Chains A and B, each alone.
Chain A
């Protein structure tokens, strides 16, 4: 059985939306569903905040210097992700793997900084059921939204590490291009969501 026939057995027909693969369409549908989840969280956050008389000023309570750096870090990791795909497209698997590794390191650093931020804020009195600055829901929503995003970043780091192995196991760069592109979609989505979280939960 040739590789083409195996591929055909998995994907019996091309989708007109993403002719490259069904996997890409599947990832986009998953991301759309996930975006509804994040959208609901942020819209609920907005509703709670708008109806609260003593909602703290986020950038006074949370501080934005560290999170601004974390935002910059995620943007950088998105660039290394597209560079990984670009190098794979040129047939350079080694550079692709290095850039996937840089992206995973960026994600791991982001999660580590988030853990540091959480421990610092908890030490200052921000808890899931109360805080010294005002409405108790402020802490609840902060930990829920940033925690949900942090889990996505953690999952993304593991996903990227598995992609390094995936590329390593396939000598033909073209054989792993589609899978790397799909993993890139997930990673950029994580970056995109953080852009919204940073604006709504820290700056507004």
Chain B
């Protein structure tokens, strides 16, 4: 066990801390930038994923673990991304109905 403790690498944690703090400040600055809403969204999600990656790789030591453990860690991200694509058709359908001024099918009178 002592060998395990000695073998574990400890990166420069303060450098990671300053990176995380700086990326948070950039996030706060981005929302007030005169950019298109889509561009702001892409920037914010990219910055958040970057911060999450820093925490996982260095604070959770994923960078120093075997690749299989990384695969376990990445599975939820893949599932969440798939879920977004599964929900997209539903979202577009509702958006189409509301923006087109059409009433939902449930409110239409039943035909006999």
> Whole-angstrom distance between the alpha carbons of A63 and B36 in the complex?
21
Q: Of the 9-residue stretches A36-44, A117-125, A137-145, A158-166, which lies at the interface with chain B?
A: A36-44
Given contacts A53-B98, A82-B13, A204 and B76 within 8 Å (CB-CB): no
B105 proximal to A (CB < 8 A): no
Cβ contacts under 8 Å, B5 to chain A? 88-89, 173-174, 177
Those of B5-29 within 8 Å (CB) of chain A: 5-6, 8, 10, 13-14, 16-17, 20-21, 24, 27-28
A15 CB to closest chain B CB, in angstroms? 10
Given contacts A17-B68, A204-B44, A199 and B76 within 8 Å (CB-CB): no
Binary contact readout B68-104 vs A (1 if CB under 8 angstroms, 0 otherwise): 1100110111011001100100110011001000000
Those of A3-21 within 8 Å (CB) of chain B: 16-18, 20
A110 proximal to B (CB < 8 A): no
Chain A interface helix/strand/loop/mixed: helix
A61 proximal to B (CB < 8 A): no
Q: Contact between B1 and A28 (Cβ–Cβ < 8 Å)?
A: no
Q: Which of B31, B69, B87 contacts A47 (CB 8 A)?
A: B87
A3 CB to closest chain B CB, in angstroms? 10
Cβ contacts under 8 Å, A31 to chain B? 73
Number of A interface residues in the complex (CB < 8 A): 58
Q: Of the 9-residue stretches A67-75, A126-134, A149-157, which lies at the interface with chain B?
A: A67-75
Those of A172-204 within 8 Å (CB) of chain B: 173-175, 177-178, 181, 184-185, 188-189, 191-192, 195-196, 198-200, 203-204
Given contacts A51-B94, A75-B24, A192-B56, A174 and B2 within 8 Å (CB-CB): yes
A59 nearest in chain B by CB position: B31
A186 nearest in chain B by CB position: B60
B64 CB to closest chain A CB, in angstroms? 11
Q: Contact between B4 and A75 (Cβ–Cβ < 8 Å)?
A: no
Q: Contact between B10 and A39 (Cβ–Cβ < 8 Å)?
A: no
Q: Contact between B4 and A177 (Cβ–Cβ < 8 Å)?
A: yes
> Whole-angstrom distance between the alpha carbons of A53 and B98 in the complex?
8
Report the 6 A-B pairs with minimum CB-CB distance, sorted nearest first: A39-B80, A35-B76, A199-B48, A174-B2, A51-B94, A47-B87
29 A-B pairs, CB-CB below 8 angstroms?
A16-B66, A18-B66, A29-B72, A32-B73, A32-B76, A36-B76, A36-B79, A40-B80, A42-B80, A46-B87, A51-B94, A51-B95, A53-B98, A71-B24, A72-B21, A76-B17, A79-B17, A81-B59, A173-B5, A174-B5, A178-B1, A178-B4, A181-B61, A184-B60, A188-B60, A191-B55, A195-B52, A200-B48, A203-B27
Extra contacts, 20 of them, besides A16-B68, A47-B90, A51-B98 (Cβ < 8 A), are A18-B65, A32-B75, A35-B76, A44-B87, A47-B84, A47-B87, A51-B90, A53-B98, A59-B31, A71-B24, A72-B24, A86-B10, A174-B1, A174-B4, A188-B55, A188-B60, A196-B52, A199-B47, A203-B44, A204-B41
